[in-house]
Amino acid sequence: MKSISRASAPAKVILFGEHFVVYDRPAIVMAIDRRAYVTARIGREKNLIVVRSRAMNASGAYTISGEYHPIEGGLENKTKFKPIYMIARRILAMSGEETGIEIEVDSTIPIAAGLGSSAAVAVASAAAIGNLLKVKLSQDEIFRLALEAERIVHVNPSGVDPAISTYGGTLIYRRSEGIRRLEVNVDLPLIIGDTCIERVTGDMVSHVGGLRGRYPSIIDRIMDAGEAIVNLGAEALREGNLKVLGDLMNINHALLCALGVSNDAIERLIGAARRAGALGAKLTGAGGGGCIIALSEPGNVDRVAEAIKHAGGESFVTGRAMEGVRIEE
């Protein structure tokens, strides 16, 4: 056993195919240069799992059987921290140790915004705790542990978020097939706009599920179109064709609107980005709030970012992260 271990994992943007990916359609997803850092230490008390989040200003302790005792903040954090506790318990069992663990989360990824913050934290937690307890975990095992933990918080997660946080780079992901790395021969000038409206991914996924149940013949055709967008998107990334990528983002967003997962705040940011000359813009992730992404000509990035701010959002320019999960120390 080591006495301390630190790991990190990247946030992500879904370029094409969110929601459709839940129904075994492909999605294109890219890791971005914001990371969640997790530090794991051997705890003072046997079998006690203590979790602390700096961003949430909250902490609490789980007994090994899952009882939660708040330290900072209230009982509501029990559910938020539960995936981390589940991961810690699983890895403790694999190690055969009976030690306590203290886990500290330090993340610069906006929470509940569609950038995969919870998956990045889960992936980094698995890596940090595995390394602490000397349990050798492959990337595939880290992915599976994080996906199992995500099942606690989301309804029917596709697995796209833990996949990209684990493997990094730019991927095509399909539930039944897993990941395929994509060749990207262009710098993508991407601006992220945050509506700063938190939402629950599971609620948005349930909404789409309900619609699909009532109108399968329509929704399945929309998902066929989503799949065609992903195929053309992969080609455009390989060819470095920003114009085509922008068009495809606009079409993808229109399909998501048809599914009812956009709202006024999202539309305001998207309209502003397009008027400022973005080649394309769409919501990213589950919708209902959270973030949009806009693609711009290389020289126009600042103008698009400014326009998003004027429309009431927060914005930042983002770059690709080639590396997925990594041990920091």
**For ligand PMV, the closer CB: 162 or 169:** 162
- Residue in 161, 194, 247, 264 annotated catalytic: 161
Under the criterion CB under 6 A, does residue 19 sit at the interface with ligand PMV? yes
Residue at 90: amino acid letter = R
Sign, Cα dihedral of 113, 15, 153, 138:
negative
SS3 of the chain: helix, strand, coil, percent, to 5? 45, 25, 30
Q: Provide CB contacts within 8 A for 312, sequence distance 6+.
A: 195, 265, 268, 269
Our CB check for ligand PMV shows the closer of 154 and 253 to be 154
Q: Between 114 and 324, whose beta carbon lies closer to ligand PMV?
A: 114
Give which of 8, 108, 64, 99 is closest to 326, Cα–Cα.
8
Please say which residue, 12 or 274, places its beta carbon nearer to ligand PMV. Answer: 12
- CB proximity list for 30: less than 8 A, separation 6 or greater: 12, 13, 15, 164, 169, 170, 171, 188, 320
User: How many residues form the binding site for ligand PMV (CB under 6 A)?
Assistant: 16
Whether 161 sits among the annotated catalytic residues: the reply is yes
Of the candidate residues 157, 162, 193, 280, the single one contacting ligand PMV (CB under 6 A): 157
Is residue 286 within the footprint of ligand PMV (CB under 6 A)? Answer: yes
Going residue by residue from 116 to 145, which x/- string records binding to ligand PMV, judged by CB under 6 A?
Answer: x-----------------------------
Q: Which stretch binds ligand PMV (CB under 6 A): 44-52, 75-83, 231-239, 284-292?
A: 284-292
What Cα–Cα distance (Å) separates residue 200 from each residue in 20, 99, 205, 226, 269? 17, 34, 9, 23, 20
Site residues, ligand PMV (CB under 6 A): 18-19, 21-22, 114, 116, 154, 157-158, 160-161, 201, 205, 285-286, 290
Active site residues per annotation: 161
